[in-house]
Structure 1
C-alpha cells in the first residue's frame, strides 16, 4: 500500500487537518494517510503541548469515521526530539510491505533543505505537497521541479491550532473548527482554557 505520512503535533487536530488529509487520500494515488502525532517537534516548545496520550486520543476521535485516515503514535517510542528521517527508517523496517510517502505544506518545503538528512529523504521517498496562501508571490524553492516532489491541488486551509488554543482560552465558540467529538473531549477535559 502507498501510505502518506502526515506529521504534526495536532495540538489540537482540527477540520483543516482533516480536510487536507482526506483530500490527499481521495485525490492522489495514496491508499491511506497516517496522522503521525509528533511528541516533540524540534521547532516547537514542548511546554505548549498537551500530553501525548491526549493528542493521540483527539486524533483517534477525529479520524474514526474516515477509514482511510489512521492515527499513528509511532514516534512516541522513538528518541526525542524526533527527526523525520529516523521515523521513516523505523517505519520502513517495521512495515516493509508498505511504500511510505511524506505529506507537507508548501511552507515546510521552503525550509526542507534544513531538515536532517533531507537529501536521503528526497532520494528514498516521494513528497506530496499541499498549497499555502502567500502575502506576495509564491517563493521559488530549489525543489520546485524535483521528480520526487508532487504538488497536490488541495483546498487551502487557513486554520491554525494556535488560533484555536487562543480562542478557547478567550472563551470563544470555535466548535465549527473542530470535529464534534474532538470539541467534546477538549471541553470535558478543560483543555486550553489557559494559554
Structure 2
C-alpha cells in the first residue's frame, strides 16, 4: 500500500504515524515499540519514515495530530492517506470536516471495499471535491477540500495478518 501510494499520489515521503490507540476501537493495539519494530522489518524504504509523534505530543485524534504537523512544518504539504474502509465511518472522526477541508485525502481501495466507501456520508458531502484517479499524482497540488479515491492491487491480508498478530 505504501509504495503504491508514493507512486499514485506523487508523494515525496510517507510518514507512518503510530497511534497510541484508536478512539473508535474498543480493544487497544499492540505496544507501540513492537508495532514500530515490525513495521520497520516490513518496509525499509528511504522515503518512508516511522513516527510516534502522536504519543510524543499527546494527541488522540487525527485532526489534533494534523493541526500540530501543519503548524510545525509550514513548508510541507501534507496528504492524509487511509484505506477506503475508513471512508465509510470517516464522518464519525472528531473534526472530520476540518481534516478534509485542510488536508488533501488519498483514499486507497482495499479488499471488499471498492464501492461502499463511495456512498459514505463524507464522500457524498464532498463529491464535488473529488479528483479523478487519472489525476491522482496531482492530489497535493490544488486547494482543499480535495480527495482522490484510487483502486490498488489488492492484497487480501489485513495489517494485523501482515504483522503476524492474527
Measured against the shorter chain, the TM-score band is: 0.7 to 0.9
**Alpha-carbon distance change, 128 to 136 in structure 1, aligned in 2, over 3 angstroms:** closer
Residue number in structure 2 paired with 1:73: 52
Q: Report how far residue 135 of structure 1 moved.
A: 8.1
Distance 2:159 2:95 in 1: 28
Instruction: Work out whether residues 104 and 130 of structure 1, in 8 Å CA contact, stay in contact via their aligned partners in 2.
Output: yes
Q: Going by fraction, where is helix more abundant, 1 or 2? A: 2
Distance 1:77 1:136 in 2: 35
Instruction: Work out whether residues 24 and 152 of structure 1, in 8 Å CA contact, stay in contact via their aligned partners in 2.
Output: no
Distance 1:22 1:134 in 2: 21
Matched, 1:63 2:26: no
Unaligned runs of 5+ in 2: 130-145
Unaligned runs of 5+ in 1: 1-19, 165-176, 184-191
- Asked which structure has the greater CA Rg, the reply is 1
Task: Tell me the alpha carbon deviations over residues 43-77 of structure 1, each in whole angstroms, 9 at most, x when there is no partner.
Answer: 23455x3221121222223332x112111111112
Q: CA RMSD in A?
A: 2.5
Q: Which of 6, 12, 25 is the matching residue for 2:6?
A: 25
Instruction: Work out whether residues 13 and 47 of structure 2, in 8 Å CA contact, stay in contact via their aligned partners in 1.
Output: yes
Distance 2:18 2:113 in 1: 29
| Pairs within 5 Å for 1:94-133 | 94-133=72-111
Q: Report how far residue 128 of structure 1 moved.
A: 0.5
How many pairs align? 146
**Alpha-carbon distance change, 123 to 161 in structure 1, aligned in 2, over 3 angstroms:** closer
- TM-score, normalised on structure 1? 0.65
Distance 1:136 1:34 in 2: 24
Distance 1:84 1:107 in 2: 16
What secondary structure, in the 3-state scheme, does the structure 1 residue paired with 2:16 have?
strand
